[in-house]
Amino acid sequence: MTAPSATITITGDGRRPIRPLIEAAIQREIELLGVGMRRGEQRVAAFEQQHGMTSEEFLRRFQNEELAETLDTIDWIGELQLLDRLREKATMLRGLHIAD
């Protein structure tokens, strides 16, 4: 499902162009999300290594109640959910278009 399009108008005082500032802020946020995603991917990889299974297998087994709910499994699920949200935000920001 595609999110509805939205238009935002940002105006400045006219003394300085604001487009470069907005573009830089968006790019910086994308970079910060990238840092968060890499850290999340490292933590997820550590869970996978520690438990000897992929995250996909873990989720399947957890949902089928083959694995107990522990602090570790809750942390793993939390990391996966956070990683999904970070990826979604980065995708949204990369899809922005600043009109002239």
**Does 64 reside within a domain?**
yes
> Residue 84 domain-assigned?
yes
Provide the residue type at 88 as one letter.
E
Task: Please write the tens of the pLDDT for every residue from 16-61.
Answer: 888 999 999 999 999 999 999 999 999 999 999 999 999 999 999 9
Q: What is the pLDDT of residue 1?
A: 57
Please report whether residue 14 resides in a domain.
no
Count up the domains in the chain and report the number: 1
43 belongs to a structural domain: yes
Q: The domain containing residue 75 runs over which residues?
A: 19-94
Task: Give the pLDDT score at 98.
Answer: 87
| Domain-embedded: residue 60 | yes
CB atoms within 10 A of CB 91: 11
Residue 71 lies in a domain: yes
Q: How confident is the model at residue 2 (pLDDT cuts 50, 70, 90)?
A: low
